[in-house]
Amino acid sequence: MITQQYFDTYEGKEINVYQLSDKIDVLICPIGATVLSIRVPDRFGKKTDVLLSMTECAEIAKNDAYMGSVVGRCANRISNGKFNLNGVSYQLTQNKGQNHLHGGNVGFNQKVFKPTIDGDSLLLELDSPDGEEGYPGNLKIVVRYSVKGSSFAIDYYAASDKDTLFNPTSHLYFNLNGESDGSILDNVVQITADSYLQVDENLIPTEKAAVANTPFDFSKPKPIGQDIDCQDVQLNIAGGYDHNFCLEDDHAACAYSTKSGVCLDVFTDCCGLQFYTGNFLNGQQGKSVYDRRSGFCMETQFFPNAINNSEWKQPVLKAGEKFHSCTQYVFSTL
């Protein structure tokens, strides 16, 4: 079931939010196609919000943690904001030092998507014009949010009139203890990956490395905090986990809280999962206070900067082709 209610006024327009409900309730704001809350039953059947979020439109659009938003055109970093496509070199906006991050200065997270209710799904549409943030092609994007039972599915669709790059993700920050609990270090995580991408000092991936015998081994469930402060060059660079895992299976990851009993399973058709432990959260986020490591993200995507590494699957969307990718977040209790 989908219900709609007034939320806030943004740039002179009234913005409604949409609640998708079945066994879980998911609240969505069209700005940035942002997910504002995911309320799921805990082990006692009490609904708990497990998603960090903002409270006002202006904050949602502005916050540099991309909290709950769809990120695009390309998630993550592109080295020096440069790439070559069909022999043409392109320069994207450099909004993170010399790199391009999460779509540039005005990414999808700041755009007002057009909402339409389609049965039990909410469609959010956006047109991104040719040249926006340096990307070629007029791109049409549709994000479909659906709730069925205890599953929340995100489908991304897109098409462009010129060959372009497209690598969307959803920047959800979870704390399975409950969003205001303050720390995710006791959340237990398992990731279906034998390897991850090491990064340089600017968090640009350099090469694949085995997770075995490193703090990056999440092949068996372990608390996020177990190894996060180990002396490890890669953890030191990022101040915790902020790395892409190379997925072996469409059951990408799972996580659970021993406090609330809430379990999360992540399914995706993407090859990469950016596991980010909120290392750059710094207290005040709009009116909410979210300290460092109070939320974790499992951002499904192509490998970051893949366009500059031809051995990796390329996030290229050809003119006239249809892009579709799907990630599902499924909740249960222990």
- Provide the binding-site residues for ligand BGC, judged by CB under 6 A: 65-66, 203, 242, 274, 276, 280, 297, 299
DSSP 137-148: S-EEEEEEEEEE
Cβ closer to ligand BGC: 48 or 301?
301
Give the shortest CB-199-to-ligand BGC separation in angstroms: 9
Give the shortest CB-160-to-ligand BGC separation in angstroms: 23
Give the shortest CB-97-to-ligand BGC separation in angstroms: 11
Contact 77, 204 (CB under 8 A): yes
Give the shortest CB-20-to-ligand BGC separation in angstroms: 24
Cβ closer to ligand BGC: 66 or 135?
66
Reduced to 3 states (helix: H, G, I; strand: E, B; else coil), residue 190 is strand
Supply the residues annotated as catalytic: 171, 299
DSSP 209-256: EE-TTSTT--SS-EEGGGTTTSS-HHHHHHTS-EEEEEESSSEEEEEE
Residue 236 — φ and ψ, nearest 5°?
Answer: -65, -40
Reduced to 3 states (helix: H, G, I; strand: E, B; else coil), residue 307 is helix
Residue whose C-alpha is closest to residue 327's, from 131, 109, 153: 153
Contact 263, 221 (CB under 8 A): no
Cβ closer to ligand BGC: 18 or 66?
66
Half-sphere exposure of 229 (CA within 13 A, CB side): 3
Cα torsion at 223, 273, 124, 314 (round to 10°)? 180
Ramachandran sector of residue 169 (left: φ over 0; alpha: ψ -120 to 50; beta: rest): beta
Alpha helices in the chain (DSSP H): 57-62, 233-238
Ramachandran sector of residue 83 (left: φ over 0; alpha: ψ -120 to 50; beta: rest): beta
Cβ closer to ligand BGC: 16 or 279?
279
User: How big is the chain by its Cα radius of gyration, in Å?
Assistant: 19
Looking at residue 113, the DSSP 8-state letter turns out to be P
Cβ closer to ligand BGC: 72 or 115?
72
Cβ closer to ligand BGC: 19 or 69?
69
